[in-house]
């Protein structure tokens, strides 16, 4: 098949892991006979440096023309002055809104070989296989902000239709898995959460009566994610709670460097990115774990290009490299010699064909 893919390397380790994902997609194209074209565009701090704009118009134009968009990461200390007029993260938030990708899908699967890389005990995390569905274009990250000398505010807004559509995405995913859905909110305190809970319960009762459903307050969910992570199948939650819970969940899998994400809307065009940030502490050292980026490329193949066999092959190649004992520093245990980003990528691609 033919497809145009826009690559947005961004900042910090973004370019390093984007290069790994790019190589994986090119290998898939060679092995399976596809014609993928790639456009590379600026976003985040790199775009601010060149254009004073974290999301230049030609980046948006290329993304809108593409079948899928891959993003490395944005941000870093160079652009984090609290008084700066523009910030790298604005570019990412605007891009998500432009693409209309309201559903951020974050699978968390604990690989047996990496159980020792997690700070949690093996008996808690063996067999963990869950997906967090995070609402991505609403809530407090997108509400009106105010700031004066002694006061600041961030408005949290949710509309009924925003809740209904994300709950449907999560419920359909659960139907294809273990049929369990957990909705997370803070309905004991927040009005937006009370709406979230009402709309979720109504939508599930009306459209998905067969699902096994559960509701948790976000503080309790943070605890249950660590005390009984195996019980979860699909978790659906609002933007900020999902942001925080998925970083917590990454520790089940051993490292942020293992977790991919797909952001989808009503069309097949999606935005794919590892869940980690730009990791300025290790940027430019060729030590970042590329697994999350390559696994995000697998999600791109599956969800935007409809290439399930190819996606399965990429995921199997990551598992094969991990199974063969290849480890970057973030997932290496005492006595294991870590490999570079480049070598980890080489080993994954060699398993791919």
Residues that bind ligand NAD (CB under 6 A): 13, 17, 73-76, 80, 89, 92, 255-257, 273, 276-282, 288-289, 292, 330
Active site residue 281: no
Q: Give the DSSP per-residue string, 276-322.
A: S---GGGTTTT-S--HHHHHHHHHHHHHTS--HHHHHHHHHHHHHHH
Distance of closest approach, residue 276 Cβ to ligand NAD, in angstroms: 3
From CA 315, how far away is CA 147, in angstroms rounded?
A: 45
Active site residue 145: no
Nearer to ligand NAD, 279 or 322 (CB): 279
Buried b / exposed e along 31-67 (16+ C-beta atoms within 10 A): eeebebeebebbbbbbbbeeeebbbbeebbebbeebb
Distance of closest approach, residue 92 Cβ to ligand NAD, in angstroms: 6
From CA 165, how far away is CA 94, in angstroms rounded?
A: 20
Phi–psi pair at 68, nearest 5 degrees: -160, 160
Distance of closest approach, residue 327 Cβ to ligand NAD, in angstroms: 11
Active site residue 219: yes
Distance of closest approach, residue 94 Cβ to ligand NAD, in angstroms: 13
Nearer to ligand NAD, 288 or 318 (CB): 288
| Residue whose pair of structure tokens reads 């992570």 in the numeric block | 229
From CA 63, how far away is CA 226, in angstroms rounded?
A: 37
Q: Which residue is catalytic, options 141, 158, 233, 272? A: 141
Query: Three-state SS string across 173-237, please?
Result: HHHCCCCEEEEEECCCCCHHHHHHHHHHHHHHHHHCCCCEEEEEEHHHHHHHHHHCHHHCCEEEE
Q: Which two tokens stand for residue 70?
A: 């891959």
Active site residue 312: no
From CA 36, how far away is CA 300, in angstroms rounded?
A: 12
Q: Which residue is catalytic, options 154, 247, 286, 346? A: 247
Nearer to ligand NAD, 238 or 243 (CB): 243
Distance of closest approach, residue 191 Cβ to ligand NAD, in angstroms: 28
Distance of closest approach, residue 36 Cβ to ligand NAD, in angstroms: 23
Q: To which H or E segment does residue 104 belong?
A: strand 103-109
Report yes or no: 67 and 10 within 8 Å, Cβ to Cβ: no
From CA 42, how far away is CA 50, in angstroms rounded?
A: 9
Q: Which residue is catalytic, options 212, 219, 266, 312? A: 219
Nearer to ligand NAD, 143 or 338 (CB): 338
Nearer to ligand NAD, 17 or 67 (CB): 17
Nearer to ligand NAD, 89 or 164 (CB): 89
Q: Which of the residues are catalytic?
A: 141, 186, 219, 243, 247
């Amino acid at each position: 098949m033919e497809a145009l893919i826009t690559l947005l390397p961004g900042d910090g380790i973004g370019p390093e892991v984007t290069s790994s994902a790019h190589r994986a997609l090119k290998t898939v194209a060679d092995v399976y006979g596809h014609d993928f074209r790639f456009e590379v565009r600026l976003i985040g701090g790199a775009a601010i440096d060149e254009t004073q704009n974290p999301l230049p118009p030609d980046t948006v134009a290329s993304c809108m023309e593409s079948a899928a968009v891959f993003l490395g990461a944005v941000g870093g200390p160079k652009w984090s002055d609290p008084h700066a007029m523009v910030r790298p993260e604005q570019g990412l938030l605007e891009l998500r809104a432009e693409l209309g990708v309201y559903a951020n899908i974050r699978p968390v699967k604990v690989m047996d070989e990496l159980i020792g890389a997690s700070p949690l005990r093996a008996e808690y995390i063996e067999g963990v296989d869950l997906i967090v569905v995070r609402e991505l274009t609403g809530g407090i990250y997108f509400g009106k902000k105010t700031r004066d000398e002694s006061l600041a505010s961030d408005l949290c807004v949710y509309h009924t239709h925003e809740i209904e559509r994300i709950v449907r995405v999560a419920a359909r995913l659960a139907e294809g898995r273990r049929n369990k859905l957990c909705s997370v909110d803070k309905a004991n305190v927040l009005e937006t959460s009370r709406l979230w809970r009402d709309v979720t319960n109504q939508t599930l009762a009306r459209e998905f009566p067969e699902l096994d459903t559960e509701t948790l307050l976000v503080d309790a969910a943070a605890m249950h994610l660590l005390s009984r992570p195996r019980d979860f199948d699909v978790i659906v939650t609002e933007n900020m709670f999902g942001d925080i819970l998925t970083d917590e969940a990454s520790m089940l899998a051993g490292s942020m460097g293992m977790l991919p994400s797909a952001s989808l809307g009503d069309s097949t065009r999606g935005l794919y990115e590892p869940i980690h940030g730009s990791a300025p502490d290790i940027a430019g050292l060729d030590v970042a774990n590329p697994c999350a980026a390559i696994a995000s490329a697998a999600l791109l193949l599956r969800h935007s290009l409809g290439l399930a066999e190819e996606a399965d092959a990429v995921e199997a190649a990551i598992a094969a490299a991990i199974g063969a004992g290849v480890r970057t520093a973030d997932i290496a245990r005492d006595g294991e010699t870590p490999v570079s980003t480049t070598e980890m990528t080489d080993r994954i691609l060699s398993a791919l064909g």
